[in-house]
Structure 1
């Protein structure tokens, strides 16, 4: 089902009516791979971030003449709350100068890595700035905060490329942490996953199918997995990406061992996308409804990952990405089982990331908000409309928005991005 309101609002007469009545105004979002530009850069003198942007091919300018495609400010040098005035001095004159679907990126130092109390205070304050800008600027403009380990600006190139591109269209108001290191650049920038093997669970339809397609586009050999009942749809996806289809119920007691037989060459990327819902309030929910959701959404990813590690099938330098949900962050009435499982995915990421960093394996999660799928199309109309409008983009996201975020986390250049939970929700009003 399409978003008829958004289509109307983007028509000539509809846009005029929406503006006159003060109704939600969903912009057309740019989703291509091109970097927003020109980029007006400010902040720390001599910042290596500027060099990183130039290396990416961004059109970095010094002139303040608008319009701009992106505003990027390196705030890592702000070591005292009094110095936060520099943020106003940079953003105030240019708040209205950005193109539609423009980008705002602020870089800083994670508070836990600051040497003084004043430095930590100033750096934590950046979160309030970027989240507010994401809600104020409108017109499809996104705003992000990237905490970079000192002297590791080069490691942020993959993240900067994603956040400056149209592929991050439905990601806004997020905080990304980039650790130290020197990830190798991809041999083929247009196909950064060449030579990588990617396992995608729940790949038969919706978000899973989009993930498989996007990773395949980037060069990965995709192993698409889903339950036997989805066999026909799964085969279609696998054929489209020239990958392999595996029919398997991940909750089966022997699932992990059976999966291993389909991975003779191991795997480089594991995307735990498979998930189900059995919605009821906890007062009305039976044990079967609770247990099935926990088993598919949480127990299976943890067990499968452990089995792949124990058998040496997850290669060093690999990527593990779990699909959580804003329900796991904010909770949701009638979804205690689902919210519990998706919060558990966040716990899985937080626990596993430091354990695997020594092997160069990153563990991250995406947390989708309202995404236009067959499942959300079946929601009651008022709930569906609330989901679409209650975010800074005033519209639902697309499965490809989740897939592009996962492709960034899976890229070779994202080897120092680990332990992150990235919401793909258009900056939903729900949760943090």
Structure 2
């Protein structure tokens, strides 16, 4: 039997990158997938088709995860369509990197709203469903930067550190109802965004990693499967670093 057979997962920001990899891996393990992104464009449509081709139910919802009202409306639609929510993966995120001296209020607010407020929005909406079910797994995408900080990413680091504190609090609040909450902290992951970095920069990053390579979205997805499944039934309030040993 597949690890997520018959379960329903919501994954935010999943049209591409890590979110898409998580959606596909969950689908391979039997989960039905409701995923969100800002627009139902060609990329989102293709992702929806790829997921459905794995033999599960798949539907994309155009929704701004940073918008509280829009999030509640989207979760209501998903519950009406899928009947339940067993897994939430808070993956939506952006970067607006610059040194603090140059960072604008808009750059700060945008990153905090998309990366951190979205986690509050979806977790609050989905937890109401999971409380009725008396079960659920909530996985939020943090970062090693949220633990160690990084020059030029004060807004991003703050948002990802906030996710870790939020996750621990939610784990304590909801644990008695058999709802688990964990965070995943990726390191240097090869995505479309990082692939655009100069080769010498990527080599420099890899040289600092004990496993001597960048991670893949699939590396993150497999850890998410573990956290979403009953294999991690006694794991909650934790931050799992998936970084090749980069952050010890």
Same fold (TM over 0.5): yes
Cα deviation for residue 280 of structure 1 reads: 0.4
Question: Among residues 50, 55, 71, which one is paired with 1:240 in the alignment?
Answer: 50
Q: How many angstroms apart in 1 are the aligned matches of 2:152 and 2:67?
A: 27
Question: Among residues 286, 289, 304, which one is paired with 2:104 in the alignment?
Answer: 286
Q: How many angstroms apart in 1 are the aligned matches of 2:63 and 2:181?
A: 23
> What is the SS of the residue equivalent to 1:357?
helix
> What is the SS of the residue equivalent to 2:44?
helix
Would you say the 8 A contact 2:63–2:70 is kept in 1?
A: yes
Would you say the 8 A contact 1:195–1:220 is kept in 2?
A: yes
Q: Deviations over 1:238-271 (max 9, x none)?
A: 2211111111111234212221223221310000
Question: Among residues 198, 201, 205, which one is paired with 2:9 in the alignment?
Answer: 198
Q: Which runs of 5+ in 1 are unaligned?
A: 1-187
1:249 correspondence with 2:64:
yes
Would you say the 8 A contact 1:308–1:314 is kept in 2?
A: no
Q: Deviations over 1:353-380 (max 9, x none)?
A: 1111111111001100011111101224
> What is the SS of the residue equivalent to 1:347?
helix
Q: Which runs of 5+ in 2 are unaligned?
A: 53-57
Cα deviation for residue 300 of structure 1 reads: 1.0
1:262 correspondence with 2:78:
yes
Would you say the 8 A contact 2:12–2:35 is kept in 1?
A: yes
Between 338-347 and 412-421, the greater mean CA deviation after superposition: 412-421
Would you say the 8 A contact 1:224–1:234 is kept in 2?
A: no
Q: How many angstroms apart in 1 are the aligned matches of 2:199 and 2:34?
A: 36
Name the counterpart of 2:196. Answer: 378
Rg larger in structure: 1
Question: Among residues 19, 38, 46, which one is paired with 1:227 in the alignment?
Answer: 38
Cα deviation for residue 311 of structure 1 reads: 5.5
Q: How many angstroms apart in 2 are the aligned matches of 1:317 and 1:373?
A: 33
Name the counterpart of 1:212. Answer: 23
Q: Deviations over 1:183-210 (max 9, x none)?
A: xxxxx2xx12111000011111111110
Name the counterpart of 2:156. Answer: 338
Cα deviation for residue 314 of structure 1 reads: 7.1
So what's the TM-score if we normalise by structure 1?
A: 0.54
Would you say the 8 A contact 1:402–1:424 is kept in 2?
A: yes
> What is the SS of the residue equivalent to 1:322?
strand
Q: How many angstroms apart in 1 are the aligned matches of 2:25 and 2:174?
A: 25
Would you say the 8 A contact 1:266–1:314 is kept in 2?
A: no
Q: How many angstroms apart in 2 are the aligned matches of 1:333 and 1:419?
A: 27
Name the counterpart of 2:168. Answer: 350
Q: How many angstroms apart in 2 are the aligned matches of 1:371 and 1:386?
A: 14
Q: Deviations over 1:156-183 (max 9, x none)?
A: xxxxxxxxxxxxxxxxxxxxxxxxxxxx
Flag the structure with higher helix content: 2
Cα deviation for residue 326 of structure 1 reads: 0.6
Name the counterpart of 1:305. Answer: 123
> What is the SS of the residue equivalent to 2:240?
strand
Q: How many angstroms apart in 2 are the aligned matches of 1:328 and 1:227?
A: 24
> What is the SS of the residue equivalent to 1:332?
coil
Q: 1:421 to 1:328 in 2, by over 3 A?
A: same
Q: How does 1:17-416 map to 2 (within 5 A)?
A: 188=1, 191-228=2-39, 231-242=41-52, 243-259=58-74, 260-264=76-80, 265-310=83-128, 315-416=133-234
Q: Structure 1: which 4+ aligned runs deviate by more than 4 Å?
A: 311-314
Cα deviation for residue 384 of structure 1 reads: 2.1
Q: How many angstroms apart in 1 are the aligned matches of 2:44 and 2:163?
A: 24
Would you say the 8 A contact 1:325–1:342 is kept in 2?
A: yes
So what's the TM-score if we normalise by structure 2?
A: 0.92
